[in-house]
Structure formats: structure tokens, C-alpha cells
Amino acid sequence: MRALTLLSGLILAMTSYGQSIHQEQLEYYNGLGIDEDAYTAINRAESNLVGTKSNRSNCSMERIVFGWHPYWSNGKEDQYQWDLMTDLSFFSYEVDANTGNANSTHGWATNDAVDSALANGVRVNLCVTLFSGHTTFFSDPNNSQTLITNLINLVQSRGAHGVNIDFEGIPSSQTANFTNFMIDLCTQMHTAIPGSQVSTVLYAVDWNNVFDIAALDPHVDLFTIMGYGYYYNGSGNAGPTDPLYHFGNSYNYTLSKTVTYYLDQGVTPSKLILGLPYYGYEWNTSSANMPSSTTASGSAKTYQQIRNNTSGNYSTANETWVYETISTNYTYNDGNWNQAFIDSKYDMAERLEFINHRDIGGMAIWALGYDYNYTDYWDVIRDNFTTCAVHPCVDTLYDMGGPVKDYYDDEDYTYTITADNAANLELVFDTIDIEVGYDYLYVYDGSDVTAPQIPGSPFSGQYSGFSWTSTGNAITFRFTSDGATNNSGWKAVYYCNQDSDPPTTAINPTNNWETQDFSVSFNDQDNGMGVHTPFYLVADTDGSGSWYANDNNGFKLDEFDQLTSDWTLQTTQWNASGGLLEHLDENESNSNLWSDLTQDNAHAYLYEWDAMMTGNLTNRRSGMHFFCDDPTLSNRGNSYFVYYRVDSDKCQIYSVDNNVYTLETDDPVDLDPGLWYNYKVHYDPSTGEIKAYVDDVLVSSWTDATPLQSGNSVSFRTGGCQAAIDNLKIYKSRTANETITIGSATSDVRYQNMNPSSPSCEIYSICVDSANLWSSPANQLVNIDWTEAGPLSVVDEFVVDADTFYTSTEISGSWGAYQDTNSLTTEYWYCVGDTPGDSNIVAWTNNGLTTLFTETGLSLINGTTYYVSVRSVNGAGIVSSNYTSDGNLLLSPTGLEDMEDFAFTIYPNPASNHLVLKTGGHALRYVILDMMGRQVMQGNLNTGETSLDISQLASGKYHLQVWSGSAFKVEQLIKR
């Protein structure tokens, strides 16, 4: 407890009027004569952390957090939450005003806090103090140059990032010299160390007009306001050392007024850092009233001392919240009235919210370690200055004069309020009193000033209270005032209407059959904050009864009817049984079953599965790796994985870099062994955000600042348990319309229907809204057939095949049935033409499912060959190719002579090279025609037998005509 004793002794000694807390404490600790290294052991002996360190690894800093580390806090850096800091300023290099050299650097070269900050990626600054002797220092230019040279060397030697100039009590006569010094320091430091940072403190009230902001702002990187000391140890009245607003008729300087002043002087808002105290003051007072006059000098109390409450004086019985200043007061009587002011966790949160509203660079802390053993203020930083900021569902808003005082001159600021999981916000104004025609309050229905203004905006004048409801979960305010009259301003309260309605999703009907790549549209609706991400999954089946998806296209579906070849057993003991995937070896600490899955940065992904854990061990966990690039390695190369733990009731998100994993979140969730849970993991590579859900409730989230952009696989992982897994679905994000590809191994749908009543495609849709509520899934079965029926077995003229016919007024045809198992044949069409495939005799005609026809009333031409063509249409509407008969020759009976005596014989038929024709006693001649009706051979026949050389004819069918006078007969000839 020695460090507390030292601080208490210091506090009693702090009675010098006009000194800042920086000077008072530096002079006190220097006077103790204790080596800076000794404080490490002294402070660490007190370590007894209350609360849990904030895990900011799943968040990103959105403001600067600049903390002064005085050497007497050495050892306390073990509790600094480096993830919630951007800058450490080591206190201090004490300037010798006569030379510019250091009276002391207090162990800068070897300090552990500096080492830790550098190791954790925090910018390190060397604070430079000069509290007197300014005229001496500036009188000799060599002093300034010596100091600048020393600082550059010291920053370079430590691999640090810059300096923080803390020159206090500068007389107005030295304003120009100070300005020139700062510009010279910035120029040389930035040149010698590119990217270095030079900052300077600003006083809470610049009584002597020391700071020429117009000259300094183009050069200085940060301006850190010492936003404390408004009420100090020598104050005549008791009050908060950092009043956010003022109260009563007391001292009229506050944080809000100081920020307004420096912004009006021209400090770039992003460079302005508001220093806040991790301490307060306690005084003997004349009464219990507030404000009350003091009867003795005050003593400083750190946040740690107030929370420790060893005296019992800082209990809730003595606590009062001072709403005018947003501060906490403890009033007690130990024979005398005493009042102590300190910022509670809530008060500190209001100050950080003020910083957000004024949109300045961030906060500074005097001093790191003054909250030792307590995480309250770190939690406030996480909840206000990171992407994990907590936006309250109800809050009270004031102008910068606060609850009881007027706003200030020359204000111009804009800020936006939002509420987590709110569908909309109800804004209720209690009062509005703004100088009419000169000062204005603008209110916008949205997240910035481009949104529509609400009715009545801009407000200028006096208004009675009214309420209004936003269309979304954001309202933006802008206020401007001129340089004269100040009115009381406004007070408003907002409430959020929570989004408790999950979104809905539907798949609009597709065609009854799809025969080629097709578009499907989705209808997503949300009555609350709006749909955040919609997803879809395309599955297919080969007719075996099991459904899967094409993992090359980023989809996966597996109901584990069997363990398919898609999965690789990197470790054993995985099997699929009874429709479940099981891992039964609870002694395995890192089981691995993986499958290929293409994952890219063009989509967000949803990994969903059901799981149950059992077994007899006490550290049972299971989960999934995703975005893996080498699933064969122990931690799958580069990847992420989510673990659900039933014994510690935790959900954990891990990142894996070069096969080395890092725990990123460790969040509570109620899980029990032997029970089934639905797990969902949502990853968006465009933002790096990972969200993990249990039974549709968000339980953990983390955002990777450098997210993985691709992966080739996913992997189930278990440890210390027996696990059962079912219903794996992996979706990818979509738009309102998506094209589904079919017809090949690389398509979304790789199979056709096995029959008309068994669809081969199923589409799933699901979406999540901005309140992290999930829709019920939608699904639609789709019939797929991309091939025509067939082939047709045979097409014949007439009921049986014939080569000639003799009726010039009719023709018939028949064919074997088409085969189409996918969607069945629904109709046949036929036509007749005098060339193959032509329809000039009988146009294409629908014959239903009948496989023969007769056309009558025709006027056919003798000696012409006619052809019947047929095609089919299947249930998917696909029209087949045309199939055509081998032709039928029309022979007119007119002019034939004694046909019964007109006989001949041909053999062999089919023939290869020679053909023999045997005739009776008639004088005969012959003609051979091809199937197109073209003459290819002719000649006379001898009585008896005639041998014909047909070796030159092409293989195929021919018509052999044998003539006797004007009559002829025809036989079909086949050439091999």
C-alpha cells in the first residue's frame, strides 16, 4: 500500500495556488527522492484487478486516446489496456531553462511502459515539461536548438513517435517566442523523423492568450487540452475539477466552453484532444449545499482511492449526482462538512459522448494508473470510442450550456445519435429557446445533414415542447450561434423503438420447368431496421435421395446420409450414421474433418449447422474453421474458427495466421451437454466482421482489420468431446435477383430430374436484419431438364416400312415412341415433304401422343419420293431434333401391262460389288435412283440373268426401277 500512502502525502502537500496538477505532482514526487525504478515494485504490490480487461480485439479505435504515464506510475502499465490506447506520453523530460538540456528524463531510455507501448503498436511520445524560467529559456536561441536536437535524438533512440510539449505558466510576453519555437520544433522533427508527431498542451483557460492557434495549427499535430483544474485545491468553492457544464452562479468555465473556445480559435477539430482527470478534489466546506464555499485547501483523490473507499466516506449513502455538471459528489460530516467530486463511470461516459458530439479528435488521460485495479474507465472507452460502441436506447440531450445555463457564442457543430437495435427514434423536446433570426438548430431525419429536415427545422426562437418520430435509427443535429446573444437553448430526450420483428424472405416462383440457366428473384422484407444481408443456397440431387451442393460455387449442403468423398478424414473417428455426422473419440484434442469449398471476397458467407456435444471430459468444445487455405495443417493454415464450449459456457472466435491461432473473443453463452443447438456463423470479407449465433441469438462478434479474402475449404473441429452434427448448410450473400446455372459439372445444378415428380434442384433463402434477427428459411423445388427426348427409334411411311405406294391422294406414317425419363414426352409433331425434312406437302401437325397418322385428300405426283418427318416435345417444353423416313416412291397404276406377267428377281440383296437381275421373256431396262431421287445407273437387261457392277455406288439405300415399255416396278436395293 506504499504508493497510496505516498499519493496521500502528496495530496496534503498540494496547496500552491495556480499550479497545474502536472506541476504539483511532478514537484512532489521529485521531492521524495525515490528512484523511478523503485515504483515498479511498489505499485505491483498493489495489483488486485477488479473487473475484466476489455477485449477490444474485435473492435477498431475511432478516436485518439492519449495517456500520460508519469514515472511514479511505473509498474502499473501491466494493467493498461493497450488495445484501447493510441498514444502514450512518458512524463517527463524536465527542461533546464538555462541550457535546454534535461534536468532529468526519469528513465526514458529503459522504461518498461515505453517498451510495452511500442510492443503493442501504441504511439509513444516524450512529454517535455517547463513550468518556469520561460523568459530565460527563450532569451537564447541556442537553448531552443539544444532542446530540439536532444528531443530528436531521444525519440530516434527509442524508436518512438514524437514529443508532447507541456510548457505551463508562459507569460503573454513570450507568446511569439513560444510560437516560433513550436514551429521550428515541428519543422525539424518532421524532417528528421518522417511521420513523427508533435503535440502541445493547451490550458483549460488561456488567461494570457499564449496560444496563437492560427499560426500553430498548420504545424502542430495534436493539441491536448488540460481539461481539469476548473476547481482545484485552492478554490473558494467546491466543485468538479472537470465540469462538463456549469452550475448555480459559480465559476462559469467548463469543458464545453473550453472546447468551443479553441474550436472558435481555429484548432482543426480532429487535432483537438480533451484531457480528462482520473482524479478529483475533496474540501472541507461550510455546508452540505452545492455549491458551497471551502474552509480549507483541497486534497486530490484518485479514482482508485474513491473506489477503494477505505474510509467508508464514499459510499452510496453519501453520494449525490450533480446533474448540472454531470459529476458525482460525496458529502459527509466527520465533525466538519466535507465534499469530494469525482467522475463516476457514467460521468466519464457522458464526457466521451460529448467528445463524439463535438467530433473532436479524442481524449487524453491524466494520469494513467490513477484507476489502478479498476476497469470502469477502460470499459467506457471501449463503449464510446470503438466500433463496438454501445449506443443507448434512451438519453437526454442538451445544448452546450448544459441543463441550466445558456449556450455559447460562435458555436457550430454537428453530431448524430443512433441506438442499437432500434427501428426508429422518438425525439421529445422539453424546451427550445434560441435567439431568433441569428442562432439555429437543425434536425435531420437520418445519419447526416443530407437527410431531410424534420418538420419545423431549422428552429430559431421559442417553441413549446413537441415530439417527433424518425423513419430510421439515426437523427442528426446541427447548431450554429453568432457572437452575441445567448439564450437557454434546448433540452430533448430520445427513446428508441426496438426492432423485435424478424425479417421475412420468399422465393418468387420460377417456371414449372427450367431448361437452361435461369434467373430467380427473392423478396426480402423487414418492418424494423432493414435487411442487413440476404443469403441463398442452391442444392441438387442425382435422384439417389440425397441432396448436396456444388462446393466449387461456394455452396454446401449435407444431411450426412453417408460420409461422401467430398470429405477428407485428416484425423480418424469421424463417420456418418443414421443421418448424423459423428465424432466419438473424446480424447482427440483437435479433430479435423474437412471439405473443399470455394470462398471469395465477392460474397459474405453463412455457415449453419446443428450440433450436440456429449462425453465425460470437462473441456468439451466443437466448431468450424472457415476461409481455410490449408486444411491439412493443425490450425488449417490461414483461417478463422469458432468454438462453442459447453463446460465453460463460452463462444470463442479465433483468427489463424500462418497456422498460429489467436483468441479474439471469449463471450458467455448458455450451453449444455446432450442438447442440440443451431449454430450460425456470418463472415463478411469486405468488412472483416464475424458474428456467431446460437439458436439465432448473437453471442459473439469480432472484426478483423485485415480480413482474409479467400479460402479453399472448411473444417469441422472438436476437442475433448463426442459430437453429433447434422444439417450443414453454407450459403453465400446475394442480390434480389440471381442467375442459377445448370447443365454441367461446374454449374450450380449438375443433374436433371430423374422423373417428372422428382425435382433435381432446390433453392434456399434466408436473411438477417440490422438488429441481428434472422428470418425463417424459405425453399423452393425446381424441375430441371435440359435435354431433348429421344432418339426416335424409327420413322416409317405407312404402318410398316414400304418403298413404294400407289395411291396419289393419301400418305401414312408411323414411328416408335421417344424416350424422356426427365420430363416425359408430351406430344409428337409430323410433316410430309418431297425432300427429306421438308414440310411442303403436309405442314407440321400436332399428333398428341399418337405414333401414327394418315393424311388424305392429297394430290401427289407419280414418280415422286415423299418423306415423313417427326419430332417430339417433352414436359419441359424442349423440342427434339427432326427424324425423317427413308422415303416412299409414288407409282401410278396407269399404263401398266399385265403386271402379273411382269416379274424379275434380284440377288444378292444387300449386295457389295455385283448384283444379278433375272428376268422373263420381256425386253427390259433398268434405272437405279438414290434416296434423293437422282439417277445413278441405267441400262438394258438380257433375257435370263444380267450381272451389274455396283462397286462404285456409295453404301446405303437405293431404288431399283425395272421398266417394260411404259410400265415399271420398284424394289429397294441396299448397297453394303
Q: How far apart are CA 275 and CA 897, in angstroms?
A: 127
Compute the CA torsion angle 947, 950, 951, 956 (nearest 10 deg): -140
Which among 711, 666, 714, 664 has a CA at the least distance from the CA of 689?
664
Provide the 8-state DSSP code for 96.
-
Which among 524, 733, 782, 730 has a CA at the least distance from the CA of 626?
730
Q: How far apart are CA 721 and CA 616, in angstroms?
A: 7
Q: How far apart are CA 811 and CA 349, in angstroms?
A: 96
Sign of the C-alpha dihedral, residues 341, 344, 350, 356? positive
Mean pLDDT per 10-residue interval, the chain, length 976 residues? 36 48 94 94 92 66 97 97 97 98 97 98 98 97 98 98 97 97 98 98 95 98 96 92 83 90 96 98 96 94 97 96 94 97 96 94 98 96 89 89 91 90 88 96 95 96 91 93 94 88 94 96 90 97 94 97 95 91 96 98 98 97 98 98 97 97 94 98 96 96 93 98 97 98 97 96 96 95 92 61 76 86 94 95 96 93 91 94 88 49 78 85 74 77 84 87 70 85
Report strand pairing: 935-941 vs 924-929.
antiparallel
Cβ neighbours of residue 80 under 8 Å, at least 6 residues apart?
67, 113, 116, 368, 369
The dihedrals phi and psi of 380, each to the nearest 5 degrees, come to -65, -40
- 561 three-class SS: coil
Q: How far apart are CA 271 and CA 262, in angstroms?
A: 11
Q: How far apart are CA 50 and CA 851, in angstroms?
A: 89
- 666 three-class SS: strand
The residue type at 853: F
Tell which phi-psi region holds residue 925, choosing left (phi > 0), alpha (psi between -120 and 50) or beta. beta
Report strand pairing: 621-628 vs 639-645.
antiparallel
Provide the 8-state DSSP code for 459.
B
Across the chain, which distance is largest between two alpha carbons, in Å? 158
Report strand pairing: 924-929 vs 842-846.
unpaired
Q: How far is CA 336 from CA 239, 301, 314, 316, 586, in A?
A: 17, 18, 16, 19, 68
Please measure the distance between the N-terminal and C-terminal CA atoms of the chain and give it in whole angstroms. Answer: 114
Q: What is the CA radius of gyration of the chain?
A: 45
What pLDDT is attached to residue 805?
78
Is it true that the peptide bond before 910 is cis, omega within 30 degrees of 0?
A: yes
What pLDDT is attached to residue 921?
61
Q: Per 3-state DSSP, what percentage of the chain is helix, strand, and coil (rounded to 5)?
A: 15, 40, 45
What pLDDT is attached to residue 1?
31
With beta carbons less than 8 A apart as the criterion, state whether 657 and 647 touch. no
Q: How far is CA 228 from CA 221, 242, 293, 338, 366, in A?
A: 22, 5, 19, 20, 9
pLDDT per residue over 792-850, tens digit each? 666 766 544 556 777 889 998 888 888 899 999 999 999 999 999 999 999 999 999 99
pLDDT per residue over 29-85, tens digit each? 999 999 999 999 999 999 998 877 765 556 789 999 999 999 999 999 999 999 999
pTM of the model: 0.65
Which among 7, 28, 26, 38 has a CA at the least distance from the CA of 69?
26
Beta bridge partners of 840: none
What pLDDT is attached to residue 932?
64
Q: How far apart are CA 742 and CA 733, in angstroms?
A: 19
The residue type at 741: T
CA angle 463/467/471 to nearest 5° reads: 130
- Identify the H or E element spanning 716: strand 711-719
Compute the CA torsion angle 97, 102, 103, 109 (nearest 10 deg): 160
| Lookup result for grid cell 415399255 | 965
What pLDDT is attached to residue 737?
97
What pLDDT is attached to residue 466?
86
DSSP strands (E only) in 419-547 = 422-433, 440-444, 462-463, 466-469, 474-480, 489-498, 504-507, 513-514, 518-525, 531-540
What pLDDT is attached to residue 806?
77
Measured in residues, the chain has a length of 976
Which among 565, 563, 535, 561 has a CA at the least distance from the CA of 547?
561
Beta bridge partners of 524: 505
Which among 413, 748, 394 has a CA at the least distance from the CA of 557?
748
With beta carbons less than 8 A apart as the criterion, state whether 930 and 889 touch. no
Cα 380 vs. chain centroid, distance in angstroms?
25
Q: How far apart are CA 320 and CA 300, in angstroms?
A: 19
Cβ neighbours of residue 57 under 8 Å, at least 6 residues apart?
83, 662, 664, 665, 702
Q: How far apart are CA 34 and CA 18, in angstroms?
A: 26
Cβ neighbours of residue 463 under 8 Å, at least 6 residues apart?
429, 431, 432, 433, 456
Which among 666, 612, 611, 661 has a CA at the least distance from the CA of 641?
661
Helix and strand element counts for the chain (H, E): 12, 60
Q: How far is CA 416 from CA 163, 358, 449, 476, in A?
A: 33, 10, 9, 4
Report strand pairing: 362-366 vs 272-277.
parallel
The dihedrals phi and psi of 702, each to the nearest 5 degrees, come to -155, 145
What pLDDT is attached to residue 933?
64
Angle between helices 345-358 and 376-385 (to 10 degrees): 30
Beta bridge partners of 657: 660
- 748 three-class SS: coil
Q: How far apart are CA 964 and CA 944, in angstroms?
A: 15
Q: How far is CA 139 from CA 152, 750, 838, in A?
A: 22, 86, 112
Q: How far apart are CA 593 and CA 582, in angstroms?
A: 11
pLDDT per residue over 252-310, tens digit each? 899 999 999 999 999 999 999 999 999 999 999 999 999 899 999 999 999 999 999 99
What pLDDT is attached to residue 577?
82
Q: How far apart are CA 614 and CA 848, in angstroms?
A: 62
What pLDDT is attached to residue 683?
98
CA angle 790/791/794 to nearest 5° reads: 125
The dihedrals phi and psi of 856, each to the nearest 5 degrees, come to -115, 175
Which among 189, 153, 291 has a CA at the least distance from the CA of 235?
291
Q: How far apart are CA 710 and CA 732, in angstroms?
A: 13
